[in-house]
Structure 1
């Protein structure tokens, strides 16, 4: 239940962040908006980390270097989301973003990448993805 709640909150905040970044980018530019977003995100995470103090930093050397670059993807994510929202609107952008996320996660799960347990994709998952794509096509027209 808590996992679903956090997923819902994460999705809601991704949408709010996309809209806020789009507004910022209109005033100062898209890469500037991405920079500010990354900086304020870093500051917020650092403040929270200071309160948590769980000392897990000691295990940083156990993390594969490739995974440490994950935060750098945030700049590309922000730029892409802002540009999409400016060109096709929030609803269509978020719909396509979700389809892209699900499509990639199907591939990652089926291959067991990143140390995840391989998952077999079944017909209901493909039907669900197909319905989402059909929904986007309907939204577009």
Structure 2
């Protein structure tokens, strides 16, 4: 659980790094491609060091169901959808809806043992813990955003600019994106068990995702990053891919140990804590925003919720 929490904290630093990289290369999709390539190379070195292997044997690939290879594709869908959701439903809903999708789907995966996961019964205490955790997320993420006049104005403008039916469609997709993220973690965890190598499973997922995000970037931007753009990057602009790959590697490790639901929940708490600290201190040249009491209260509620889930 602690490892999953730390991994979520590391992942929260990826977003401002990739945001700065996007500004330099003038495209979030090209920045995402660079991040994926760096992460894949990092995991390749890690996999060779830990297991001495990269690509599974042809026999293994042929004998496994197709869905065990979908983790990388779901990761790309999650990344690109967040970019598309922001101008459609605003900042608050783009943040909260995928989180709710992840929590709900993670609990369902554990309940029914989907994707090779061990079944975890939904006891009353576990349900109460999940509800308290959701309240904590809302308090930590939504309330501070509502207090920000600029965020409220932007979100109101965005939602009123689009037709109601279109907004509802994007809201539903926001939840589905969160469901995909939960599925990705469960699938990658099961792939690690099948391969008996967490590093190799993480590498394969990132490799598949890298090919897909490059294709998406070429379709949308129809170009590669220029040499001048790459020269303009700072050294830490290249760390985003490493942080993302470390998060993926940790989920492959933790899902078989503590289940999909707890892995997701601890990762989310780590991400929210990390995001608050990034804004508090302005790390990676992000805009500084001071911590507010609601964020502290939300984190405490989330930890109480996880405690109840664990005890159940």
TM-score (norm 2): 0.42
Question: Is it true that 1:24 corresponds to 2:24 in the alignment?
Answer: no
Considering only aligned residues, what root-mean-square deviation do their CA atoms show, in Å?
Answer: 1.9
* 8 Å CA contact 1:38, 1:74 repeated in 2: no
Which range is displaced more, 48-57 or 34-43? 48-57
Structure 1, unaligned stretches of length 5 or more?
none
Shift of 1:72: 2.0
CA distance in 1, matches of 2:306, 2:216: 37
> What residue number does 1:12 align with?
179
Report the secondary structure of 1:103's partner residue: helix
- Bigger relative contact order (CA 8 A; separation at least 6): 2
* 8 Å CA contact 1:84, 1:93 repeated in 2: yes
Cα deviation 1:38-72 (Å, max 9, x = unaligned): 10011001111110125471323222121212112
Shift of 1:16: 1.6
Larger Rg: 2
Cα deviation 1:84-127 (Å, max 9, x = unaligned): 11111111111111111111111111001111111111111111
Aligned length: 141
Question: Is it true that 1:125 corresponds to 2:292 in the alignment?
Answer: no
* 8 Å CA contact 2:254, 2:263 repeated in 1: yes
Which residue, 17, 32, 40 being the options, matches 2:208? 40
Structure 2, unaligned stretches of length 5 or more?
1-88, 99-173
> What residue number does 2:305 align with?
135
TM-score (norm 1): 0.89
